[in-house]
Structure 1
Amino acid sequence: MEGFETIEAGKLSENFIRLIGQEWMLVTAGESGRFNTMTASWGGIGYLWNKPVAFVFIRPQRYTFGFMEAQDGFTLSFLGENNREALNICGTLSGREVNKVEQAGLTPVFSASGQVAFAEARYIVECKKMYAGFLDPEAFLDPILIDKFYPEKDFHKMYIAEVVKVWKKK
C-alpha cells in the first residue's frame, strides 16, 4: 500500500492497551465497494495458537457485524488522536443510514488480498479470522459485568484472528 511499509507483527512496539482503549481503532470488513467500518475501544493484540493474533468484539446489531460474518478477514486501522473526529463519526453514525467513511473524510485503501483499511492510519493490521463465538452469560464470573455492559442481553461476538500483515505509515 502506497505510503506504508510492511513490518513484522513481532516488531510492533506501541502500547496497544493505550492505542485501543484510549486512541481507539477502526474495525473494517467487506470488500471494495461494499464494506463497513466501526470504531472500537475493546480488543487486543497478542499471541495465541503459536501465532500473532488480534481479537475484537462486535455486537450483533452493529452494521459491521454482517460484514464480519460474511468475510474471512478484517482490518484494524489505528488513526491516532489527530483523527478523533473521524473516529467519533465512525463510532456514532451507522453505515446503514449514511456514508460515514465519506463524512469522516477517510480514504479507503486496499491490501493485495482485497481487505479495506484507511490511508489516514498510522498502523494497519490485516487479520484472518480463526475463531468466532458469542460471549456466554453463564461464563461471567462477576454478574455485575452483565448488568453494567449487557442490560439488553446483546452480548458481543468475539473474533480471534491471525495477524497476517502489518503496515506502518512511512
Structure 2
Amino acid sequence: MKEIKYNELSKELLDQLQKGAFLNVKDNDGNVNTMTIAWGNLGFMWNKPVFTAMVRYSRHTYKLIENAKDFSVSFPLKGQLKEALSICGTKSGRDIDKFKESNIHAVDSKNINSPIIEECDLHIECKIVYKQEMDPKCIIDSEIKEKKYSTDDYHVLYYGEIVGTYINE
C-alpha cells in the first residue's frame, strides 16, 4: 500500500462516498464491525485533516464506536463490492458476521486499532478527536427532518483526525 496525502484523491473519495463506503470500528474490548455509510465530510479543522462520520443511535456500530478511540473508512473505487455494501448497509452486526456474509476481510490498519477492508482501494485512518450529538432543534430545513429523521433516530457525528491515508496499488 502506498501512503498519500489525505486530499490527494478527495474527488474520488467524495464521489464513492455517495455510492457507499465501509466505516470500520474495533472497540476497546476487541469487537469489530463494519457498516456502509453514504454520508460524511472530508475537511480541515483545528489545523488537522478531518473526516466526519455519522452513526445513528440505533446502529450496532454506535455501541462499538462509543467504546473506541478511532475508526477507518475504506472506499471501493473501482465499482467492486456492491453486494458487500448492500449487505453491510442492510444487515446488523448484532445478527450476522458481516465480513463472512459479504466475503470481505478486515485487516490491520497501519496507525490505529480499527481495521480496514482488504478488498478496497482507498483507506483513511482516523483518531476520534470530537463527537457531537445532533440536536433536533437545530435542524433548520424541515425537509431534512421529515425525510431523514421521521422516526427520531438521529446521528452522532464523530470527527476523526486523519492520521493515515493510503491506496492499494
Both proteins in one fold, TM over 0.5: yes
Matched ranges for 1:14-163 at <5 A:
14-22=11-19, 24-30=20-26, 34-80=31-77, 81-112=79-110, 113-163=112-162
Pair 1:145–1:13, CA change in 2 (3 A): closer
8 Å Cα contact 2:2-2:168 kept in structure 1: yes
Counterpart-to-counterpart distance in 2, 1:59 and 1:44: 16
8 Å Cα contact 2:16-2:76 kept in structure 1: no
Counterpart-to-counterpart distance in 2, 1:121 and 1:111: 13
Query: Percent of aligned positions with the same letter in both sequences?
Result: 31
8 Å Cα contact 1:27-1:75 kept in structure 2: yes
The answer for the alignment partner of 1:8 in structure 2 is 5
Tell me the C-alpha RMSD between the 2 structures. 1.6
Counterpart-to-counterpart distance in 1, 2:119 and 2:30: 19
8 Å Cα contact 1:6-1:167 kept in structure 2: yes
TM superposition shift of 1:33: 5.4
Q: What per-residue deviation string (whole Å, max 9, x for no partner) do you get for residues 43-72 of structure 1?
A: 021111111110111101100111110001
Structure 2 counterpart SS, 1:152: coil
Counterpart-to-counterpart distance in 2, 1:142 and 1:8: 34
What TM-score, normalized by structure 1, do the two folds share?
A: 0.91
Structure 2 counterpart SS, 1:94: coil
Counterpart-to-counterpart distance in 1, 2:92 and 2:142: 30
TM superposition shift of 1:10: 3.7
TM superposition shift of 1:137: 1.1
TM superposition shift of 1:135: 1.2
Q: What per-residue deviation string (whole Å, max 9, x for no partner) do you get for residues 57-105 of structure 1?
A: 1101100111110001000000232110111111111111111111111
8 Å Cα contact 1:72-1:128 kept in structure 2: yes
Aligned residues: 166
